[in-house]
Chains A and B, each alone.
Chain A
Amino acid sequence: MSPLESLPIAARALRVNKLRSALTVLGIVVGVAAVVCMVSVGAGAQAEVSEKIRTLGANLLLVMPGARNSGGARLQSGTQPTLTEEDAAAIRRELVGAQVAAPLLSRSMPLVAANKNWLTLVAGINPDYLVAREWQVANGRSFTGDEIASGAKVAIVGSVIIEELFDGRTGVGETFRIGNVPFAVIGVLDKKGLGAAGRSQDDVVFIPLSTAKSRVLGAVRGTTREALDFISIKVWDTTAMSEVEREIEAMLRQRHRIRGDAPNDFRIENPADVLIARGAAVRILGVLLIAVAAVSLVVGGISIMNIMLVSVTERTREIGLRMAVGAGRRDIRWQFLIEALILALMGGLVGAVLGAAAAVAIAWRAGWPILISPWAIILACGFAGFIGISFGLYPAHRAARLDPIVALRFE
Chain B
Amino acid sequence: MQPLVRTAGISKHYPSGGTIVRAVSNVSLTIEHGEFVAIRGRSGSGKSTLMHLLGLLDRPDSGEYALQGREVAKLSEDRRAAIRSHDIGFVFQLPALLPRATALENVELPLVYAGVPRSERRYRAKDALERVGLADRCHHWPNQLSGGEQQRVVIARATVNDPALILADEPTGSLDSGTSNEILTLFEGLHRDGHTIIVVTHATEVADRARRQITLHDGRIIEDVVASGKSSLQNATTLDSPL
Kindly provide the distance from the CB of A347 to the nearest chain B CB, expressed in whole angstroms: 22
A408 near B92: Cβ-Cβ < 8 Å: yes
Q: Is A281 in the interface zone, CB < 8 Å from B?
A: no
Q: CA of A408 to CA of B95 in the docked complex: distance in angstroms?
A: 10
Q: Which residues of A contact B85 (CB under 8 A)?
A: 325-327
Q: CA of A321 to CA of B58 in the docked complex: distance in angstroms?
A: 14
A324 near B84: Cβ-Cβ < 8 Å: yes
B-side interface size class: 20 to 34
Q: Which residues of A contact B135 (CB under 8 A)?
A: none
Q: Is A318 in the interface zone, CB < 8 Å from B?
A: yes
A328 near B100: Cβ-Cβ < 8 Å: no
Contact of A321 among B77, B86, B96 (CB under 8 A): B96
Q: Is A18 in the interface zone, CB < 8 Å from B?
A: no
Kindly provide the distance from the CB of A14 to the nearest chain B CB, expressed in whole angstroms: 11
Query: What are 13 pairs between A and B in contact, CB < 8 Å?
Result: A13-B100, A16-B100, A321-B92, A321-B98, A322-B98, A323-B84, A325-B90, A325-B110, A328-B82, A329-B78, A331-B113, A404-B57, A405-B52
Q: Which residues of A contact B157 (CB under 8 A)?
A: 325
B 96-117 to A, binary, CB cutoff 8 A, 1 in contact else 0: 1110110000000110111100
B100 near A405: Cβ-Cβ < 8 Å: no
B 140-168 to A, binary, CB cutoff 8 A, 1 in contact else 0: 00000000000000000100000000000
Number of A positions contacting B (CB below 8 A): 21
A324 near B113: Cβ-Cβ < 8 Å: no
Residue from A322, A326, A327 whose CB has the most chain B CB atoms within 10 Å: A326
Kindly provide the distance from the CB of B151 to the nearest chain A CB, expressed in whole angstroms: 14
| A interface, CB within 8 angstroms of B | 1-2, 5, 12-13, 16, 318, 321-331, 404-405, 408
Q: Which residues of A contact B78 (CB under 8 A)?
A: 328-330
B86 near A326: Cβ-Cβ < 8 Å: yes
A405 near B57: Cβ-Cβ < 8 Å: yes
B 59-82 to A, binary, CB cutoff 8 A, 1 in contact else 0: 000000000000000000110011
Q: Which residues of B contact A2 (CB under 8 A)?
A: 115
B52 near A323: Cβ-Cβ < 8 Å: no
Q: CA of A329 to CA of B52 in the docked complex: distance in angstroms?
A: 18
A5 near B112: Cβ-Cβ < 8 Å: yes
A328 near B98: Cβ-Cβ < 8 Å: no
Q: Which residues of A contact B96 (CB under 8 A)?
A: 321
Kindly provide the distance from the CB of B115 to the nearest chain A CB, expressed in whole angstroms: 6
Q: Is B55 in the interface zone, CB < 8 Å from A?
A: yes
Question: B196-212: which have CB < 8 Å to A?
Answer: none
B57 near A328: Cβ-Cβ < 8 Å: no
Q: Which residues of B contact A323 (CB under 8 A)?
A: 57, 81, 84
